[in-house]
Amino acid sequence: MSLAVPGLPGVPAAGAVVRLRDRVLGTDRPVVMAVVNRTPDSFYAPARYDEAGADAAVARAEEEGADVVDLGGVRAGRGPRVEADEEIARVVPLVERVRRRHPGLLVSVDTWRSEVARAAALAGADLINDTWAGHDPGLVAVAAEHGLGVVCSHTGGARPRTDPFRVTYPLAPGRTADEHDEHDAHAHDALDGVVDDVVATLASAARRAVDLGIDPASVLVDPTHDFGKNTWHSLHLVRRTPALVALGYPVLMAFSRKDFVGESLGLPAEERLEGTLAATAVAAWLGARVFRAHDVAATRRTLDMVATIRADRAPELAVRGLA
């Protein structure tokens, strides 16, 4: 299959169209998913919102060009235990308020629990962002039952809220690094083992979602950088974005201020914006479609510029040299 845009040699093909309920986001509109966490302990301090702060963050995200808000009630990493009823209490009233006050925004809920997904669906959510790779096997069935989209993720088998430790990913059975390189000029020795594992896991999870009745355009696949991976793995997955795009589902990238960005540049979370935007631009050029971001305005502008260079989108104004 050709990965080039017709008439523009060397430009990778655009990724898949995103459809959530009755909303379609075409290839001319890169999708920004704004992070709004109702948690007191997010790894990125400016993203820790109480109830009033979360409402203001949603309004600001819409003003800055977000298409989706991703509402979370539990920190992804280690921290105090949060039971399902507490997670519901943090998130579901916010879903209801967003639905009522911001009808133009799509609503995603970041959870791995089916009971939270069900409550969010009844409150009006459009998407369930399962960042822990089907840990609760009933979650995707809840999304299908209520007509929601779902994010299929990859954690290498890690359990929710755990950190990776010396994880390795061998190449797929029957393949050696040399054989892999012979068929793929972009392979990077044994690091392609993580690509094999991510592609196989996401293909299987997405196929299950579709088999349950979810529209393929509503099934997002996320390689889930940092989760069950070291920095080398995460960097290589950015390089190999076309392997994910080739699955045929919209690709979601959640780079925002993550550790692989910080370790690459030697910077704390507060100083990782430029590194995040660099990874965003590369993945968007290669066909990723949805970007989960703390910094909405900067991400929106970066993605719109990449889309314009790719010729997926026209400039807002083009009078220089013509007037």
The pLDDT of residue 177: 56
pLDDT of residue 175 exceeding 80 = no
Element containing residue 107 per DSSP (H, E): strand 106-110
* Least confident range of 139-143, 157-161, 172-176: 172-176
The pLDDT of residue 7: 61
What are the sequence ranges of the domains in the chain?
A: 29-309
The pLDDT of residue 162: 82
- Partner residues linked to 5 by β-bridges: 8
The pLDDT of residue 164: 84
Averaged confidence pLDDT in the chain: 91
What is d(CA 168, CA 110) in angstroms, rounded to the nearest whole number? 27
> What would the two tokens of residue 158 be?
């890690």
pLDDT of residue 297 exceeding 90 = yes
Mark out the alpha helices in the chain (DSSP H runs): 51-63, 84-101, 114-123, 139-145, 177-183, 192-211, 231-239, 241-245, 259-265, 273-285, 296-309
pLDDT band at 189 (very low <50, low <70, confident <90, very high): low
How many residues in the chain?
323
pLDDT band at 3 (very low <50, low <70, confident <90, very high): very low
> What would the two tokens of residue 259 be?
């550790």
pLDDT of residue 6 exceeding 80 = no
The pLDDT of residue 76: 82
Query: b/e string for 128-162 if b means 16 or more Cβ within 10 A?
Result: bbbbbbbbbeebbbbbbeeebbbbbbbbbebebee
What is d(CA 23, CA 273) in angstroms, rounded to the nearest whole number? 29
Cβ atoms 108, 128 nearer than 8 A: yes
pLDDT of residue 186 exceeding 50 = no
Q: What is the CA radius of gyration of the chain?
A: 19
pLDDT of residue 68 exceeding 90 = yes
The pLDDT of residue 183: 44
pLDDT band at 185 (very low <50, low <70, confident <90, very high): very low
What are the pLDDT digits (tens) for 208-253?
A: 999 999 999 999 999 999 999 999 999 999 999 999 999 999 999 9
| Number of DSSP helices (H) and strands (E) in the chain, helices first | 11, 12
pLDDT band at 134 (very low <50, low <70, confident <90, very high): confident
What are the pLDDT digits (tens) for 242-264?
A: 999 999 999 999 999 999 999 99
DSSP 49-85: --HHHHHHHHHHHHHTT-SEEEEESS-SSS-S---HH
* Domain 29-309 listed as CATH 3.40.50.2300: no
Q: What is the average pLDDT across 91-107?
A: 97
The pLDDT of residue 182: 42
The pLDDT of residue 79: 78
Give SS3 for 16: coil
CA atoms within 13 A on the CB side of 204: 10
What are the pLDDT digits (tens) for 13-55?
A: 889 999 999 999 999 999 999 999 998 878 887 878 888 899 9
